[in-house]
Amino acid sequence: MKFMVAFSSPKRSAKTVEVAAQHAKALGAEVLLLRMVPDPEKVGVVAQLIATGRPEEKARQQVEETATNLKTQGLNARGIVKVGEVSRGIIQVALEENVDLLFVGTQNVAKRPMFLMERDPIVHYLVNHCPIPLFLVRHDDSLAISEPDSE
Q: What is the pLDDT of residue 55?
A: 78
Q: Residue 143 domain-assigned?
A: no
pLDDT of the residue at 133: 96
The distance from CA 98 to its chain's CA centroid, rounded to whole angstroms, is: 16
The pLDDT tens digits of the residues spanning 76-95 come to 999 999 998 999 999 999 99
Residue 77 has φ and ψ, to the nearest 5°, of -140, 150
149 within a domain of the structure (yes/no): no
The secondary structure of the chain in percent helix, strand, coil, rounded to multiples of 5, reads: 45, 20, 35
Q: Does residue 148 belong to any structural domain of this protein?
A: no
pLDDT digits (tens, 9 = 90+) for 12-44: 899 999 999 999 999 999 999 999 988 766 555
What digits encode the pLDDT tens for the residues 109-147? 555 555 544 567 888 899 999 999 999 998 765 454 444
Q: Is residue 151 part of a domain?
A: no
**116, part of any domain:** yes
- Whether 108 is in a domain gets the answer yes
> Does residue 33 lie within any of the structural domains?
yes
Give me the number of domains the chain comprises. 1
DSSP string, 11-72: HHHHHHHHHHHHHHHHHT-EEEEEEEEPPHHHH-HHHHHH--SHHHHHHHHHHHHHHHHHHH
Residue 134, domain CATH: 3.40.50.620
Domain, as residue range, for 125: 2-138
